[in-house]
Structure 1
Amino acid sequence: MSVLMEFAIFPTDKGDSVSKQVSKVIGLIRESGINYQLTAMGTLIETDELPEALALVNSCYEVLEKDSDRVYCTLTMDIQKNKHNRLTSKVESIENKIGKVKK
């Protein structure tokens, strides 16, 4: 199984810049060993099971809630059985198709 999840989580009570708090979340994700990709608007992860993905979101929340009265989170998931490594293979598939397009 492949659980692709894109999520953004950040405190809303820390002013305009929350990079200090978000960097703590990314550090936790990095230490977890879960495959991830940081983007300007959120983070993509891929796990083998849904509970693992949801547990990661909960851990990220716990990092932020220690110093925040309000935390905002969005998440989108694509869950597919009998698939793996979609975090990179989906992007590679598009890049390969773009390379084959004639100008």
Structure 2
Amino acid sequence: MKVIVDLCVVPLGVGVSVSKYVAMCQNILEDAGLKIRLHAYGTNIEGEYDQVFAAIRRCHEEIHAAGAPRISTTIKLGSRVDREQTMVDKLKSVEAKLEE
């Protein structure tokens, strides 16, 4: 099943800046072959359910291994079975309505 996920991973106990850990997670998601789009407070991910969640697990494992004692993660997940829909499709739909 294909899913679109909005992921926000926040390492705790590592100081104020977390960009190093965000970059680590981005690399993991890219290496997993997922379609991703970084935004100011997280990352949108598109892919197969098991592949997406395996990559999220790896993000947690790698961030812990890099010294973060705690991680707080927020996940919003959407799936459709009536038709395929991509992140780009969703954005184009809204953009078209804004042009009307």
User: TM-score of the superposition, structure 2-length normalised?
Assistant: 0.90
- Contact 1:10–1:72 (CA under 8 A) maintained in structure 2: yes
Confirm or deny that 1:38 pairs with 2:38.
Answer: yes
Aligned residues: 99
The structure where strand makes up a greater share of residues is 2
Q: Is the 8 A contact 1:2 1:82 kept in 2?
A: no
Moved more, 37-46 or 24-33: 24-33
Structure 1 residue runs of 4 or more that deviate by more than 6 Å after TM superposition: none
Where do 5+ consecutive residues of structure 2 fail to align?
A: none
Pairing 1:61–2:60 present: yes
Matches of 2:54 and 2:70 in 1, distance apart? Answer: 19
Q: Calculate the TM-score normalised by the size of structure 1.
A: 0.87
Give yes or no for contact 2:12–2:71 (8 Å, CA) kept in 1: yes
In the alignment, the residues of structure 1 paired with residue 33 and residue 16 of structure 2 have an alpha-carbon distance, to the nearest angstrom, of: 30
Q: Which residue of 1 aligns with 2:11?
A: 11
TM-aligned CA distance change 1:10 to 1:78, over 3 Å: same
Q: Which position in structure 2 is the counterpart of 1:92?
A: 92
**Deviations 1:51-76, CA, capped at 9 Å, x for gaps:** 22211110111110102111111101
Please say which structure displays the higher CA radius of gyration: 1
Q: Is the 8 A contact 1:4 1:86 kept in 2?
A: yes
Matched residues in 2 for 1:21 and 1:11: separation?
Answer: 7
What residue identity is the alignment partner of 1:86?
A: T
Q: Deviations over 1:72-92 (max 9, x none)?
A: 111010111143342110000
Percent identical:
25
> CA separation in 2, counterparts of 1:6 and 1:18?
18
CA shift at 1:2, angstroms? Answer: 2.7
